[in-house]
Each structure stands twice: as C-alpha cells, then as structure tokens.
C-alpha cells in the first residue's frame, strides 16, 4: 500500500509539474459551528462530576483556486476548541491542502493529492467526523483517484492518518438507476490507534468488505449496508449491518416516519473489576469486536461514536410546521450483542425530541433534548457516557453559519 501511495503521488506531481496552468478564479468558503452541551448523570470519572456542560466551537476557512487545463487547488484552515478551557487550543491547523486535476488523459478521471477529507457512502465507516457533539473533523494525507460517469463511480485511495497508520481502499458505486445508489467496497488498514483499538498486537492488517444500497421511490426511502471484517492476527471475523426505511407523506408539512436497526458483532465491553485491572494475566474481553473505523454515524447521545458489540432498533417521525422549520422525535432500544457473565444484555431506551430552524440558506439554529431510560445491562458498559445506575439527560443548542 505504501508503494501504491508513492506511485499515485509521483503521477500527480509529475502531471501538475508539466501542466501549464494559469489562475482563473479564486473563491472563499467557510463555516462557524457553535454547540452548547449539557449532560445529567454522566459517569462519575468526569472531572466535573455527574453533571457537566461545555460549549464547543469549530471554525473553518477555505480558499479554492481554479486554473486552466482542469487544474485546481484547495486549502482549508481549521480550529476546534471548548469555551471552558478543558480543550482550549486556539492553534490553527491545516485541515485540507490538495491539488486536483480533472479529465486526466481525456477520460472522466480525477486525481486529488494532498491532505483531504474522505467520505464514503453515508459515512458509516469513513467520514470527516462532522456530527455533533465532538465535531473536531477528520482528514487524511492521501492520494485519491476517482473515475466517474453518469452510471458508475470508482474510487481508489491510499492514505496516512496521524503518522502512525496506513489506510486505503477501493469504493465502487452504480448510479445508473434514477434516485438509486448501489455500492461495493474493500477497506484496508494497518497499525493505527483507531484501527487496533485496545488490541495488544500492533502490526497486522484489518480488511473490511461491504455492500450498500440506498434510494427513494414514490415517497419511500431506504438505506441498507452490511460489512464483514477480518484480520491476519489472533482475531475473530465479525459482521455488522445497518438498515433504515422511511416514508414521506405527500401532504402539507411533509410528515415522515421511519424504522431502522443496526448490529455490530463483538465480545463483551464492560468495566473490569479492580482485581482484573491489576492482574497482569487478565485479557480484556472487548479486544476483538467489529471496528467502525472513522464512522460519523452515532446511534446514541450516550455512547461513544464508534461503539461496537451492540444491536439496536430505532424509529421516529418528523414534520415541517413551516417551510424553514423541522421538528422530530426519535426512539431507540439498545442491547449488547454479546452478553457478559455478570450483566444483562438489556441496556435501555433512548428518546430524543429536536427542532431545526433554517433562518436563511446559510444560517441554521437547532436544539434538542434526549433522555436515556437505563436498564441493568448498562452497568457493564465502559464505552457508555453514563454509569448505568440511573437515567440520564442530554440537552443541546447549536448554531451554524456557512458561506
């Protein structure tokens, strides 16, 4: 994969070196996203106790330069921090900086080389991590080639993230059917803090193969994805899946209802006892589970974004009281996929009420309240934000300006 990365980089550099391009147009874009978060009855280990609040902000500013001969470049600066000082870092990072060439060799082939975001499908496994809370962003130092026509799209990429992991893959899509998309992919990763989460082996390959379909038809919408993950190490193979179907009524205010489910195979995820933590011969039970890589699909406000070893069912409804306002209700039920010997599989119910107001095309306000009805199995989960002894609440208010 490293040879592939170097080869793609060399090809792109050679192309941009010999091509004579003159600057034609420069555009500026950016966004400011601010979100206030309040949690009640979180885990006791937090510095602020069971109740905590913080305001997070992300500021982005990008410049796109367009040249002749289908050449362009893009540079984006980025800053993410908390107002309360716990993560008060006002340094500006280079989130994206790449060169792009279109119609290479007079075919619909695009080459992009440099630091860039990579988002695949519905961001179920690979994303830019922009969903709140915790919208700090994700980009890769990568070379990416995209072949796209009116019917098919094929992505081949090789990347490095954080300087200690290599990541790549092939992602193909068929878009020849109106309002339908069918995808197939292979993703590969090696030696990453994220890819080898909590594993004691640090030099092996993780392969993920998947299929996805999504579309709309006469008011119905659907999305389904299934993935199989394997590794050349002392790991088990695991499956994961996601399915959602909805219907939007052709009536005033566009009411929509939906149902969905998801599952992620894995071993027990629980809080070890004091004896287990100090026992040098103890091996955690959660070291082998389906790894959700760089996901940006959080199913709950009270679990880690990349939670695994879980099965869940969910549903909800939304309506548009006015042309620029949406309100909705979401419900979800959660279970551990693998049951620990000391805890139940039942984790609990979650309900969320939310509203979104599009003040203009560029400025949006949103707010919501979520409540988790805890069941006994939650006491065994160490990847949850709540301690499992009582119900919990989450309240947020957010504004986002894009230009």
Output the pLDDT for position 309.
Answer: 85
- The class that CATH gives domain 2-402 is mainly beta
| pLDDT for residue 284 | 46
Q: Kindly state the helix (H) or strand (E) to which residue 335 belongs, with its residue range.
A: strand 325-336
Examine the pLDDT at 6 and tell me if it is beyond 50: no
What pLDDT does residue 122 have? 94
pLDDT digits (tens, 9 = 90+) for 144-186: 999 999 999 999 999 987 766 789 999 999 999 999 999 999 9
Q: Nearest 5°: phi and psi at 332?
A: -150, 150
Between 241 and 206, whose confidence is greater?
Answer: 241
**Average per-residue pLDDT in the chain?**
85
The pLDDT tens digits for 283-309 are: 444 446 788 889 999 899 988 787 788
Q: Give the model confidence (pLDDT) of 326-366 as tens digits.
A: 999 999 999 988 766 667 788 899 999 999 999 999 999 99
What are 38-53's pLDDT values in tens digits?
Answer: 998 876 555 555 688 8
Alpha helix segments (H runs only) across 167-266 = none
Q: How far is 352 from 369, CA to CA, in rounded Å?
A: 6
Confidence of residue 235 (pLDDT cuts 50, 70, 90): low
Distance, in Å, from the CA atom of 330 to the CA atom of 132, rounded to the nearest integer, reads: 16
Burial of 401 (0-12, 13-18, 19+ CB in 10 A): middle
Cα–Cα distances (Å) from 264 to 147, 159, 226, 278, 361, in that order, read: 32, 25, 10, 29, 37
Query: What are the CA-CA distances from residue 54 to residues 62, 92, 268, 336 (Å)?
Result: 27, 21, 31, 29
Which range, of 65-69, 149-153, 213-217, 381-385, averages the lowest pLDDT?
A: 381-385
pLDDT of residue 267 exceeding 60, the answer is: yes
CA angle 398, 42, 390 (to 5 degrees): 120
Residue extents of the structural domains in the chain: 2-402
pLDDT at 199: 44
Distance from the first to the final alpha carbon of the chain = 37
């Amino acid at each position: 994969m490293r040879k592939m990365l170097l080869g793609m980089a060399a090809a792109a550099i050679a192309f941009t070196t010999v091509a004579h391009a003159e600057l034609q147009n420069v555009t500026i874009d950016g966004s400011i996203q601010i979100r206030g978060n309040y949690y009640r009855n979180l885990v006791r280990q937090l510095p602020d106790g069971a109740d905590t609040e913080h305001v997070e902000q992300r500021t982005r500013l990008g410049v796109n330069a367009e040249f002749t001969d289908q050449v362009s470049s893009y540079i984006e600066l980025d800053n993410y921090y908390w107002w309360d000082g716990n993560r008060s870092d006002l340094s500006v990072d280079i989130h994206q900086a790449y060169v792009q060439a279109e119609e290479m060799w007079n075919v619909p082939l695009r080459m992009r080389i440099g630091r860039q975001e990579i988002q695949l499908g519905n961001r179920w496994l690979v994303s830019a991590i922009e969903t709140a809370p915790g919208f700090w962003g994700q980009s890769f130092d990568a070379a990416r080639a995209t072949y796209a026509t009116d019917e098919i799209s094929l992505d081949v990429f090789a990347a490095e993230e954080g300087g200690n992991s290599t990541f790549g893959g092939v992602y193909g899509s068929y878009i020849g059917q109106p309002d339908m998309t069918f995808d197939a992919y292979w993703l590969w990763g090696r030696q990453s803090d994220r890819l080898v989460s909590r594993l004691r082996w640090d030099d092996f390959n993780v392969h993920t193969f998947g299929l996805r379909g999504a579309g709309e038809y006469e008011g119905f919408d659907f999305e389904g994805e299934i993935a199989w993950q394997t590794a050349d190490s002392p790991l088990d193979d695991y499956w994961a899946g996601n399915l959602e179907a909805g219907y939007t009524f052709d009536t005033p205010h566009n009411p929509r209802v939906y149902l969905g489910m998801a599952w992620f195979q894995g071993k027990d995820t629980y809080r070890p006892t004091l004896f287990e933590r100090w026992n040098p011969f103890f091996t955690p039970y959660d070291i082998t589970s389906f790894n959700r890589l760089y996901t940006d699909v959080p199913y709950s406000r009270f679990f880690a974004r990349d939670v695994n070893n879980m099965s869940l069912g969910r549903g909800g409804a939304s309506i548009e009281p006015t042309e620029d306002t949406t309100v909705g209700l979401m419900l979800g039920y959660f279970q551990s996929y693998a049951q620990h010997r000391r805890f139940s599989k039942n984790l609990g119910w979650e309900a969320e009420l939310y509203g979104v107001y599009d003040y203009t095309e560029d400025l949006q306000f949103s707010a919501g309240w979520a409540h988790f009805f805890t069941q006994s199995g939650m006491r065994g989960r160490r990847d949850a934000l709540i301690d499992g002894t009582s119900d919990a609440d989450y309240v947020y208010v957010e504004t986002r300006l894009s230009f």
